Amino acid sequence: MTVLNIAGHRVTVDDSFQQLSPDQQNATVAEIAKTLGSQPATQPDGSAVVPRTPDTGIGQPADPRDSIAGRVDAFGRGVADTLSFGLADEIAAQAKSGPLSVQRPPDEYYNSGIYAGEYNPLGAVARFINAPFASDSKDADYNRVLAEERATNASDEQNRGGYRLAGQLTGGVAGGAGLAKSGLSATANAINRGASLARTATIGAGEGAALGGAQGFGSGQDGFLNRLQSGAAAGAVGLAAGGATPYVAAGAGSFLRSLFAPVTSRLNPTPAANRALAVALQRSGKTPDQIANIIQSAIDDGQQGYAVADAIGNAGQRMLSSVARTPNDARQEVVNQLLTRQAGQGERLSNALAEGFAAPDTAAQRAATLTAARDAEANQLYGAARRDAGAVNVSPVLDTIDQTLSPGVNQVANPRDNIGYDTIEGALARVRNMLSDGNSQVTDFNTLFRAKMDVDDMIQRATNQGANWRANALGQVQRQINNALAEASPSYRQAAANYAERSGVIDAVDAGTAAASGRTRAADNIAGFNAMTPDQQQAFRAGYADPLITRVEAAASSPTTNKARMLMTPKYEDEFQAIAAPGMAQQLGNRIGREQRMFETMNQAIGGSRTADNLADMSDIANFDPAVLTNLFSGNLKTAAIQAAVRVLNEGKGMPPRVIERIGRGLMETDPQAARNLLTVASSKMTSDTAKRGLATAILNNLVSTVPGRIAAPN
C-alpha cells in the first residue's frame, strides 16, 4: 500500500495500480480527482496514481476492462497465449512497436567485427540494409509495449481469471485438434496406425514433453537461462502427463462405452456388431477387399462354403466360438452350416486331387486304357513288319543259348551221369527247341516272332515268381531274338521301340502307386518322376493320385475327422509341388489348405468339451445362469455374487443376443460382395472411432502438457 496526497487529501492506493498502463492510470486518477473536486495528484516521482480511499470512503474506480469487450479480449488473449506457446505477449510487443523495425545500432557497430576496416564494403552494405528498418526507439518501444501486455495479462488473471483460463483451455483444445488433423500429433498417428497402448503411451510421453517444454520456454521471462529452466520444468511435467494421457483416454472410452452399451446395443445392435467384426478384421491384418478376394478364390476352386471367419483366421474362429456357445437366434444356423460343409470335405478333397493330378480315372483304369492302346498299335506295326520281313537268322540266338546249355548238350551226346537241367537250363532248352531241332533252324519271321512272344511271357512269369536269374538269362535271349527280327524286317525295330515305349508308360502307373506310399522317400520319388517322359509322368500321376483318393474316401465321415490333415505331411507337400499337373500345384495346395482352415473353424466353434454348450442350453431355456443358481443353493453366496457380477459385466460389454446374432451371420457370410460391403462398413466405423480417439487423446495430451507446463513456468 502507498499513501498519496491528492489536493490535500491523504489517499491510500494498492499495488494493482502499478499494473495499469500510463493511459489507464491517468484516466483513473482524473476520475478520482474529479470526485474529490481537485486536479490529479502525483507521487513524489511525478507518476499518476490510482488509489483506493478507505480514509475518505471513496471506492476504487471501475476497471475499464471489466466490460463485455474486456472479457472477450481476456478470453482471446488466453487462446492466443496457449496457441503461441506463451509467446503472444512478445509477438504483440513486436507488432505494436513496429513489426519490421530493429533498434538502430551505434556507429561503432559498423566499424567492428566483420565490418572492421576502412575500406571494408560489408559495413556500407549493412548500413544500407538496416536503414529502412532502423529505429532509435525500437528497444524502448518494445519494452514499454511488452510491459503493458504483461500488465494487462496479469490484470486479467487476477480480475477476469475465468475468462482467461477458458481461453487458454480453448486454445489447448484447438491446438491439439489442429495437430491431430494435420498429422503432426505423434500420439494420434500412433493410435491411427494401431500401435499398442504401451507404445502409444511412450510416444505420448515424448510429445507431452515437447509440448510442455515449448510452453514453458515461451512463458519464461528474465533471460534465456530462465526460459531454459522454465522449459525444463514444464517439459518434465509434460513428460509425465503425456505418458499417462493414452491410458486415461482409453480407460475413459472403455468406461463410457460400458456405461451406455447395455442400452444402445439393444436399441441398435449394428454398431456393436460392426465394432466386433472390425476388431477381428484388424487382428487378421487383412482388408475387406482381401477377404472378399479370398472367398472368391475359394468359390472359383469349388469351395463355396468358405466363409468370412475362415478368411479372417484365428480371430474370426475364436469369435465364432462365442457365437456357437452363446444363446442367440443364429446359433443353430451357424452350427448347421459348419456341420454341413464339413460333411462334404471328402468329396471336395477327392475332386481336388483328381483335378490337381489330372487323374479322373483310377490307376487300374488308366493301365487298362494304356495297355489296350499299346496292343492295338503293336498289332498294326508288327503286322506291317511281318509283311515286309524276309528270312530270319537264329544262329546268334542259338549261340547265346548254347553258352549255357553246351554242357548239357555234351552230356546228351556223351552221357556220363544222370544230372538233369536246372530251371534256367530248362527254360533255355525250351526256347532252343522252338528254334532248332538240331539239324535245321527256323527261318520264318512269323515263327520267330511267335517264339519271341512266348519268351516275353516266360520272362514276365519269372519276374512275378521272383526268379530273377532265370529272367536275366531269358532276357539275353530275348535281345538276340529282337536283333534277328530287326535284321529280317526294317520296320520291326521301330515297332519294337514303340512297344517298349508304351510299356514304359504303363509301368509308370505302378511306379506312381508305389510312390504314394509313406514308406518311400519324397526325394527319390521326385527324382524318378523328373527323369520320366511327359507321357510317363502323366501315367505316374494317375497311379499316384489313386491311393490318395482312396484313402480320403475311406476315412470316417464323422464331423470330427479332418481328412485334409493326412495330405499335409512334409512328404506330400514336397511331392505335390513337383508331381501335380502343370499349373495346378498352387491351386491344389490352396484347396487342401482351405479344407484344413474350414475344419479348424468348425473345431474352434463347436469342438472340444460340451460343457459350454450345455450351460448355454440351460441358460437359454431357464433364462438364468446355472452356475449362479447352483452356488446360491449350495450356500456359496460369495461365489454366486461374483458370478452374477461377471454376468452383469459381460452384459455391460454391449454383447446381448441380438449383437451376437449379427456377428455370427457376418462371420459365416460366403458371398464375396456381401462380405466386402459388411467389412468395409465395419472397418470404416472402426477407423472413424480410432480417429476420434486419436483426436481426443491429442487434445487431452495438449491440455495436460501445456496447462501444467504454465504452472511449472509462470509468467
Chain CA centroid to CA 126, Å: 61
- Return the closest-CA partner of residue 354 out of 591, 559, 123, 560: 591
pLDDT digits (tens, 9 = 90+) for 446-482: 888 889 889 988 998 998 898 889 889 998 998 898 8
Q: Which of 67-81, 214-228, 382-396, 492-506 has the lowest mean pLDDT?
A: 214-228
pLDDT digits (tens, 9 = 90+) for 161-204: 888 888 878 887 887 788 778 887 878 787 777 777 788 888 88
As a whole number of angstroms, the distance between CA 295 and CA 298 comes to: 5
As a whole number of angstroms, the distance between CA 241 and CA 700 comes to: 9
**Count of H helices and E strands in the chain?**
30, 4
Q: Which of 13-17, 315-319, 396-400 has the lowest mean pLDDT?
A: 13-17
Q: Which of 94-98, 278-282, 662-666 has the lowest mean pLDDT?
A: 94-98
Mean pLDDT on 374-390: 81
Confidence of residue 609 (pLDDT cuts 50, 70, 90): low
Residue 131 φ then ψ, to 5° = -55, -50
More confident residue, 634 or 440: 440
pLDDT digits (tens, 9 = 90+) for 27-66: 565 555 555 554 444 444 444 444 443 443 444 456 777 8
SS3 48: strand
Q: Which of 134-138, 468-472, 543-547, 588-592 has the lowest mean pLDDT?
A: 134-138
The pLDDT value given to residue 97:
80
SS3 441: strand
End-to-end CA distance of the chain: 23
The pLDDT value given to residue 410:
44
The pLDDT value given to residue 352:
95
Backbone angle region of 484, left / alpha / beta, with phi > 0 → left and psi within -120 to 50 → alpha? alpha
The pLDDT value given to residue 46:
45
Confidence of residue 549 (pLDDT cuts 50, 70, 90): very high
As a whole number of angstroms, the distance between CA 690 and CA 546 comes to: 54
As a whole number of angstroms, the distance between CA 631 and CA 647 comes to: 14
- 78 within 8 A of 72, measured Cβ to Cβ: no
- Return the closest-CA partner of residue 12 out of 42, 51, 64: 51
Chain CA centroid to CA 567, Å: 27
Average pLDDT, the chain: 78
Distances (CA, A) of 242 to 33, 209, 215, 401, 499: 54, 7, 14, 101, 85
User: Greatest CA span in the chain, whole angstroms?
Assistant: 176
Which residue do the cell numbers 535245321 mark? 440
The single-letter code of the amino acid at 246 is P
As a whole number of angstroms, the distance between CA 328 and CA 664 comes to: 9
The pLDDT value given to residue 346:
93
DSSP structural state of residue 403: H
The pLDDT value given to residue 612:
47
Q: Which three cell numbers stand for residue 276?
A: 466386433
- DSSP codes, 567-611: G-SHHHHHHHHHHSPTT-HHHHHHHHHHHHHHHHHHHHHH-S-SH
For the ranges 223-232, 603-612, 668-677, the one whose mean pLDDT is highest: 668-677
Helices (H), 84-120: 88-96
More confident residue, 84 or 714: 84
Mean pLDDT on 492-503: 84
pLDDT surpasses 70 at 382: yes
The pLDDT value given to residue 674:
94
The pLDDT value given to residue 636:
67
As a whole number of angstroms, the distance between CA 194 and CA 691 comes to: 11
- 207 within 8 A of 187, measured Cβ to Cβ: yes
The pLDDT value given to residue 33:
56
pLDDT digits (tens, 9 = 90+) for 668-700: 999 999 999 999 998 887 777 777 777 777 777
As a whole number of angstroms, the distance between CA 573 and CA 585 comes to: 10
As a whole number of angstroms, the distance between CA 665 and CA 497 comes to: 64
pLDDT digits (tens, 9 = 90+) for 109-130: 767 777 777 677 777 777 777 7
Question: What whole-number percentage of the chain has pLDDT above 90?
Answer: 25
SS3 135: strand
- 669 within 8 A of 675, measured Cβ to Cβ: yes
Handedness of CA 119, 120, 123, 128 (dihedral sign): positive
Mean pLDDT on 13-38: 58
**Which secondary-structure segment (H or E) carries 103?**
strand 102-103
Mean pLDDT on 129-140: 74
SS3 360: coil
Question: What whole-number percentage of the chain has pLDDT above 70?
Answer: 77
List of residues 6+ apart from 193 with CB closer than 8 A: none
Backbone angle region of 183, left / alpha / beta, with phi > 0 → left and psi within -120 to 50 → alpha? left
Strands 134-135 and 102-103: parallel
